[in-house]
Amino acid sequence: MDEILLIEAVERYLKGEMTQQEKTFFEEIRKNDPSVDQIVVEHTYLYNELDKHANVKAFKHSLYEVEQKLTLEGIIKKEQLTGKAKVVFLWNKYKRNIAVAASIAGIVSLVTAAAISTYSTNVGKNDITQLYAKINNTNIKLDQLEGKVKANANQPIHKIAPNPDFRATGFLIDGKGFIATNAHVVNRMKTIYVENSKGEYFAATTVFSDDNTDLAILKISDTAFKTIYNLPYSINKGTADLGEQIFTMGYPRNEIVYGEGYLSAKSGNEGDSTAYQVSVSVNPGNSGGPVLNKNGEIIGIITSKNSTADGVVYAAKSKNIYKLLEAAKKSGDTTNIKLPTNTSLKGLDRVQQVKKMEEFVFMVVGN
């Protein structure tokens, strides 16, 4: 018997879709042919596993939503420990391990370094290339754009960006349509469009921008954009470690490009404490792209690279996003952006991670 026909029969059998006559016939075949019976047993097992898998997935999803809700209500605490707990925590460790003393010294020196670099003036930015891409009007990109318009003439969701001059990258930080990118990107654009990996275009406007950390947040203003409820990645509030494996995605071309590397320093250009130095291959157009660690937590945003040294790329730290939003909230902002705090990418292999997040990384174009 053809295996595909048999599978179909098994599926109908298990779902109880067979007529009494069919059922008798099916059971008869099973009884008489052990090899058929074997396949039925295997498939029954596979179906049960698939079913369980689907249920556990759905349940995890519900857990995630409840968690989000209760975190907002403050019933579930976020990362930071309360002052007292932190001291107890350190003290317990200290008792056992003198090495903590060294790490405290480390923290102190980091804080000092941070303070010094924050208050010192920024000099020598000349060697830095910001990684937005200039788009030349005769370039392939526009040819392809026109092609796309014809192909998708029936789908109103595709809009044409009016002759974009610049291209960069951004990524969703809130499914309601908020996208993080670089301030230097949006500063150059009067009209902004974003395009996802499926080729859908949306108009966007800048809601916040901060030149010091080179961060900007856009809001998709298009009504065609549908809210996305579960972003697969989280945005890290802490500091990443030296040597961590990282990867990034961006639009140095008209197509999304993946790159991987490692975290090479905890500060950026001239000791800039708001950025990391990473080693990853990037090109104009990568600006605003997310930098993720192996667990699928966003730790930074690509901003610039050193044009005189090789493989020296700077990424703004992800905690700047939190800071930017907090500052905005204090000054009376009510956009109520909720950053994703749970990653569902942990433990997956890289290909899967990339596949899952690809559609949330946008090309930012404008003029």
Residue numbers of the site for other proteins (CB under 8 A)? 3-4, 7-8, 42-43, 46, 49-60, 62-63, 65-67, 69-70, 75-81, 85, 89, 92-93, 96, 347-349, 351-352
Residue 49 vs 211, nearer CB to other proteins: 49
Q: Minimum CB separation from other proteins for residue 23, in Å?
A: 20
To the nearest whole angstrom, how small is the minimum distance from the Cβ of residue 258 to other proteins? 17
- Minimum distance from residue 48 beta carbon to other proteins (Å): 10
Smaller CB separation from other proteins, 124 or 156: 156
50 or 327: whose CB is closer to other proteins?
50
| Rounded distance between C-alpha atoms, residue 107 and residue 117, angstroms | 15
CB of 185 to other proteins, least distance (A): 32
C-alpha 133/C-alpha 139 separation (Å) is 12
Pairing of strands 245-250, 201-210: unpaired
Closest approach of Cβ 27 to other proteins, in Å? 21
Is residue 84 exposed (0-12), middle (13-18) or buried (19+ Cβ within 10 Å)? exposed
Question: How many Å apart are CA 147 and CA 151, to the nearest integer?
Answer: 6
What is the rounded distance in angstroms from the CA atom of residue 339 to the CA atom of residue 150?
A: 37
Range 169-186 burial, b when 16+ CB lie within 10 A, else e: bbbbbbbbbbbbbbbbbb
8 A C-beta contact, residue 159 and residue 323: no
Which of 237, 305 has the CB closer to other proteins?
Answer: 237
Pick between residue 95 and residue 150 the one whose CB is nearest to other proteins.
Answer: 95
